[in-house]
Amino acid sequence: MRKTWLITGASRGFGRIWAEAALKRGDQVTATARRLSDVADLKEKFGEAALPLELNVTDPEQVQRAVEQAYAHFGRLDVLVNNAGKSLIAATEEASDEQVRDLFDTNYFGMVRVLRTALPLLRKQGSGHILGISSGLGITTLPYIGYYCATKWAVEALHEALAHEVRPFGLKVTLVEPGAYATDFGKSSEWAAALGPYAEYRKQFLQGLANVERGDPEATAEAILKLVDAENPPLRLGLGTSILPRARAAYEERLATWEAWKEVSDAAMGKPKKITTELMEYLARETTVQN
């Protein structure tokens, strides 16, 4: 069945590749980017099946307009790909408040804005598949991109909760977790000014990062198409050969640590108590329902 997509961050990298893959197989795609000129050529190549729109996900009014325009134009939305993002290279001590806020405003709050605008439409429609683009760095972290990792861990938590919330409405949610790929994403990263004590470590880290084996981003298109066509898609889909080994090692270590400290953790429980009637009554009073 022909699907209708909305993809943020479609100017380059994964967003562009997936937009073109969907259009080539006959789907309809609203492709958004900060600069309309970066996605305008899709309409030239694919005609009325493509709707290029300018969208900066940090602008709430623009998000509202773009999502509603996309829905009105095609009459439905089957696949929402929340892909817009940026990176920041900085040790924890090096980044400014402004840099950290800007990063979260795009990678996390931008995604939230798109979701909050699209969800009422999807709920009314009674179907749809939301793809939150996370990262292998939403599973484990690396130094010097800890703030970027933090945004992706936030994305992971948000979508895990979202999946439970929207399941009764017939909506599906998948976190897409790419490993290292040969895109130009890193070239657009913002860099914090280096502090002397970290200079040598930063140099060594970046040299090591440059030698990491990277996947072919074009190869991800088939996986994404299989994902959106699946009757029962997974909550998480790793892309690339590094994701499963990385997750397995990380969780084995975490489980071993929790097990080693189990007695201390259990003792910290104290004497278990049940929720009081007074608290239940308070929660009932404070719960309001909005249509």
Tens-digit pLDDT profile for residues 129-156:
999 999 999 999 999 999 999 999 999 9
How many residues in the chain? Answer: 291
Per the CB < 8 A criterion, the answer to whether 223 and 240 are in contact is: no
**What region does 180 belong to: left with phi over 0, alpha with psi -120 to 50, or beta?**
beta
The verdict on residue 77 lying in a domain is yes
76 vs 27: CA distance, rounded Å: 12
Q: What is the pLDDT of residues 157-215, one digit of tens each?
A: 999 999 999 999 999 999 999 998 887 766 667 889 889 998 888 888 888 877 778 88
Tokens found for residue 3: 């699907």
Residue 17 sits at the vertex; the CA angle it makes with 16 and 19, to the nearest 5 degrees, is 65
Domain region containing 127: 4-242
Q: Which pLDDT does position 278 carry in this prediction?
A: 75
Q: What is the mean pLDDT of residues 269-280?
A: 80
Q: What is the mean pLDDT of residues 244-271?
A: 96
Residue 288 has pLDDT above 70, yes or no: no
Which of 11, 87, 108, 152 is the catalytic position?
152
134 vs 208: CA distance, rounded Å: 23
SS3 call for 182: coil
Q: What is the mean pLDDT of residues 88-111?
A: 96
* Element at 54 (helix H, strand E): strand 50-54
Tokens found for residue 149: 């990792």
Burial label for 151, CB within 10 Å (0-12, 13-18, 19+), is buried
Task: For the sheet with 171-178, list strands across it.
Answer: 50-54, 28-33, 4-7, 79-82, 128-133, 171-178, 236-239
Tell me how many domains the chain contains: 1
The verdict on residue 283 lying in a domain is no
- C-alpha neighbours within 13 Å on the C-beta side of residue 177: 24
Q: Which pLDDT does position 136 carry in this prediction?
A: 94
Residue 58 has pLDDT above 70, yes or no: yes
Q: What is the pLDDT of residues 4-31, one digit of tens each?
A: 999 999 999 999 999 999 999 999 999 9
Which residues have C-beta within 8 Å of that of residue 271, sequence separation ≥ 6? none
Q: Specify the DSSP class assigned to residue 135.
A: -
Per the CB < 8 A criterion, the answer to whether 83 and 9 are in contact is: yes
Q: What is the CA radius of gyration of the chain?
A: 21
Which residues have C-beta within 8 Å of that of residue 155, sequence separation ≥ 6? 107, 108, 111, 132, 133, 134, 138, 175
- Annotated active-site residue 251? The verdict is no
Which of 71, 108, 148, 198 is the catalytic position?
148
Tokens found for residue 21: 């893959």
The verdict on residue 280 lying in a domain is no
The verdict on residue 67 lying in a domain is yes
Task: List helix spans (H) across 211-276.
Answer: 220-229, 243-260, 262-267
Tokens found for residue 283: 């929660």
Q: Which pLDDT does position 291 carry in this prediction?
A: 56
The verdict on residue 269 lying in a domain is no
| Residue whose pair of structure tokens reads 């972290």 in the numeric block | 141
Which of 3, 11, 108, 134 is the catalytic position?
134
Q: What is the pLDDT of residues 201-234, one digit of tens each?
A: 888 888 887 777 888 999 999 999 999 999 999 9
The residue ranking higher by pLDDT, 180 or 255, is 255
- Annotated active-site residue 134? The verdict is yes
| pTM value surpassing 0.85 | yes
The verdict on residue 228 lying in a domain is yes
The verdict on residue 272 lying in a domain is no
* Element at 64 (helix H, strand E): helix 60-74
Q: Which pLDDT does position 289 carry in this prediction?
A: 65
280 vs 274: CA distance, rounded Å: 11
Tokens found for residue 184: 């130009």
The verdict on residue 170 lying in a domain is yes
Q: Which pLDDT does position 109 carry in this prediction?
A: 98
- Annotated active-site residue 37? The verdict is no
The CATH number given to whatever domain includes residue 99 is: 3.40.50.720
Q: Which pLDDT does position 188 carry in this prediction?
A: 66
